Amino acid sequence: MIDLALIGIGTGNPEHLTAEAVRAMNEADLILLPDKGSAKSDLIDLRRTICDHALTRPVRVVEFDMPVRDARPDYARAVDDWHAAIAAAWRAQISAHLPAGGRLALLVWGDPSLYDSTLRIAERLEAGGQPLQVRVVPGLTSIQLLTAAHAIPLNPLAGAVTITTGRLLRAHGWPAQADTVVVMLDAGCAFEVLEPAGVSIWWGAYLGMAQETLIHGPLAEAAPRIAARRAELRARHGWIMDVYLMRKEQADVE
């Protein structure tokens, strides 16, 4: 039996870890760290720093090569194949380092329940015959860090919030009847497809990290600044993690 702990770690700042996350890391027999290659070496460096910060006892920490998702047009099929490859990589590491079972921990950006596929990949392990017990240790999400960084509430008074992806925003535009929209996993400034009148945006990249960058303003004015800054940051670091919130102007609610 593998006791798999999926531990939310925020955006890489060791101070984002909860006491429960630290305890789960120290209870593990093995922590797996995915290596995404030299272009994204900062990401594994952040995970290493978190381990150095949190571990108070000897725990085996093993790095493995993370499979790369194909960029072919059939997105759903490419993601399905990618998840299968990741599950196979986990299975190989378990066979090599926990052949008799034990406690395995994976460090997940943000929280494992929000726009993250780690839980779905874990289901593939179980479906493949691996006896598995999964538990989730919740972490700070990029949405929480974004609203905190800008010191704004997530929702307008008595209003709803829609959480979507850049792919869906670009394909379908502003979600129907939404007051506030949070956009995650945007590979390329999908807000540029929107009619900007009456919309404000709060954008953040590398939230909680030393290179944190924030821009806020009316969408018409802020959009070109965000696009330029995003391209500059991605070129400088080789990767970027960003998220943004947009809100339409609305009449005051009594």
Whether residue 83 sits in one domain with residue 146: no
* pLDDT confidence bin for 39, thresholds 50/70/90: low
pLDDT at 128 over 80: no
More confidently predicted of 76 and 8? 8
* pLDDT confidence bin for 254, thresholds 50/70/90: very low
pLDDT at 1 over 60: yes
Whether residue 155 sits in one domain with residue 109: no
Q: Give dist(CA 162, CA 176) in Å, integer.
A: 10
For residue 223, give the nearest of 254, 246, 241, 240 by alpha carbon.
246
Whether residue 8 sits in one domain with residue 133: yes
Mean pLDDT of 161-166: 96
pLDDT at 38 over 80: no
Whether residue 210 sits in one domain with residue 113: no
Mean pLDDT of 74-101: 92
* pLDDT confidence bin for 238, thresholds 50/70/90: confident
More confidently predicted of 225 and 128? 225
Q: Give dist(CA 169, CA 189) in Å, integer.
A: 10
pLDDT at 223 over 60: yes
State the residue range of the domain holding 100: 2-137
For residue 116, give the nearest of 89, 137, 147 by alpha carbon.
137
Whether residue 215 sits in one domain with residue 193: yes
Alpha helices by DSSP H, 173-250: 219-237
Q: What percent of the chain has pLDDT over 70?
A: 98
Instruction: Tell me how many domains the chain contains.
Output: 2
Assess if residue 125 is contained within a domain. Answer: yes
Whether residue 59 sits in one domain with residue 131: yes
The predicted model scores a pTM of 0.88
β-pair partners for 51: none
Tens of pLDDT, residues 47-87: 999 999 999 999 999 999 999 888 777 888 899 999 999 99
Whether residue 175 sits in one domain with residue 88: no
Q: Around Cβ 236, how many Cβ atoms within 10 Å?
A: 9
User: What contacts 252, CB < 8 A, 6 or more positions away?
Assistant: none
Whether residue 207 sits in one domain with residue 181: yes
Q: Which of 17-31, 114-128, 148-162, 229-243 has the lowest mean pLDDT?
A: 114-128
